[in-house]
Amino acid sequence: MDFFMTIVDGIILFFRTPPFLLGFIAIVGLIAQKKPINEIIRGGFMAAFGMFIITFGVDVLVGSILPLNNWAAGITDDPDAGGMGVEAYTNEYGSDVGLAMVVGFVLHLAIAFFTKVKTIFLTGHFLWWMPFIFVAIGVGVGMPTWALVIWGGVLSALYWSFMPYLLRPYSRAVIGDDSFTLGHPSAILALVSGTIAKYVGNTEKSTEDLTLPKAFSFFREISIMGAIIIFITYFITGLGGGFTEFEGYTTLFPYALERGLEFGVGLIILLQGVRLLVNEIVPAFEGISTKIIKGAQPAYDAPLFFNYKPNAVIIGFIIAMITSTALILVFNAIGLFTVMLIPLIIPSFFECGLASVMAEGQGGLRGAVIGTFFAAIVMVVLLGVSTYFFRETITDWMLIFGGNDMSLWGSVTGSVAEFFEWIFN
């Protein structure tokens, strides 16, 4: 009996290592698709590599903003501003996230099979990141493993089914038919900007009638934009007396520049990891769902909408970057939130770019401008509020990727979880 338990413990321990579990999930998916053996082995390794690389990527990425956080923590006198941090969280709970992803996807398929809500969520990286944030909320209130998997799985399934379903009218207005809907955490910002644009907009003048300067296309190179903006953030904070030591350098400029590059590098590594991981898992999910669900409507990544209104994306990004940065400066100055917010480069591009596209569909150029302005305000407020609920886990990660549905639903479910924790204690 002891021998048997040792084996069971061994198996459980094995799958608690995230790359092993994700590699295994990919292998099961490839077997289900009846792939040849060489592709099955290859896919298993690629998914495991991907999961490994993601951990390195987030380490570099959050490492690049760590001095800013530490400096802010010194100001606010809160040594726990970052909590355990995303790297420790991923290593410790990554397997629970992986299991929650599988459980969640099965429930998501069940919802599509049994109800009228027939959306199938196929944006690979958010099949990972949604359970990732819900499990973090569970960890924050001390749930045991089995509860983390169920909590993360159920909430992710509800999110994947209903949020894209809500966005259908706005999606239709942009792409002209019902062939797909939005599967991206920008949904709440699109609802805000789209609704405002409907009332204040004017569809007679479109963003796409404008001719934007060619140089603007540069804004789409996100790793470069990110490096530049983080460099500027460090440089200005340093000029304001934020840093007195420049690890390895005697002056501010090269130190700030290196942090900017580090941010860009972290992003590039992270994306490579995510790409390897989702490349092996999404085709399996797609294959299974098209086989089981008749009349399913896929929910796709935000940039699939960008092709329809490319000017709106750039205009939305510029408005969001300016609005959100100004608001962040004000919030940081008055110390509204316990952590210091940094400029939201990635959400300004993807989330607000999408919000702008959806607003354009409802209210033309004017609708896009006004709608995105309000979406950017909502983005910063959501992020600030959500840092409270992720304070013991992944605040550092949310500071870079939050301000969207992950912040919204993290805060909503976090409130519920903390309420019950308070009752039972």
Contacts with another protein by CB under 8 A lie at 122-126, 175, 179-180, 184, 214, 217, 220-224, 271, 274-275, 278-279, 282-283, 286, 298, 300-304, 306-308, 310, 350
Which residues, other chains included, contact 335 with Cβ-Cβ below 8 Å and sequence gap of 6+? 75, 76
| Cα 295 from Cα 109, distance rounded (Å) | 12
Q: How far is the CB of 217 from another protein (least distance, A)?
A: 6
What does the buried/exposed string (b/e) look like for 59-69 if buried means 16 or more CB atoms within 10 Å of the residue's CB?
A: bbbbbbbbbbb
Nearer to another protein, 222 or 385 (CB): 222
Q: How far is the CB of 151 from another protein (least distance, A)?
A: 25
Amino acid at 203: T
Q: How far is the CB of 312 from another protein (least distance, A)?
A: 12
Nearer to another protein, 16 or 220 (CB): 220
Q: How far is the CB of 128 from another protein (least distance, A)?
A: 11
Nearer to another protein, 117 or 224 (CB): 224
What does the buried/exposed string (b/e) look like for 230-251 if buried means 16 or more CB atoms within 10 Å of the residue's CB?
A: bbebbbebbeeebbeebeeeee
The residues pairing with 242 across neighbouring beta strands, listed in sequence order, are none
Ordered strands of the 181-182 beta sheet = 119-121, 297-300, 181-182
190 to each of 173, 319, 328, how far by Cα in Å? 12, 15, 21
Nearer to another protein, 281 or 319 (CB): 281
Q: How far is the CB of 114 from another protein (least distance, A)?
A: 25
Q: How far is the CB of 262 from another protein (least distance, A)?
A: 17
Q: Name the 3-class secondary structure at 246.
A: strand
How many Cα atoms within 13 Å fall on the side-chain side of residue 379? 43
Nearer to another protein, 150 or 224 (CB): 224
Q: Name the 3-class secondary structure at 135.
A: helix
Nearer to another protein, 148 or 182 (CB): 182
Which residues, other chains included, contact 133 with Cβ-Cβ below 8 Å and sequence gap of 6+? 390, 394, 398, 406, 409, 410
Q: How far is the CB of 220 from another protein (least distance, A)?
A: 5
| Cα 64 from Cα 82, distance rounded (Å) | 14
Q: How far is the CB of 142 from another protein (least distance, A)?
A: 33
Nearer to another protein, 69 or 207 (CB): 207
Residue 140 corresponds to which tokens in the numbers above?
A: 């924050």
Q: How far apart are the first and last CA of the chain?
A: 37
| Cα 349 from Cα 301, distance rounded (Å) | 13
Q: How far is the CB of 222 from another protein (least distance, A)?
A: 7
Q: Name the 3-class secondary structure at 300.
A: strand
Q: Name the 3-class secondary structure at 79.
A: coil
Q: How far is the CB of 207 from another protein (least distance, A)?
A: 13
Nearer to another protein, 177 or 245 (CB): 177
Q: Is 388 exposed, middle or buried (0-12, 13-18, 19+ CB in 10 A)?
A: middle
Nearer to another protein, 83 or 124 (CB): 124
Nearer to another protein, 62 or 127 (CB): 127
79 φ, ψ to 5°?
-70, -15
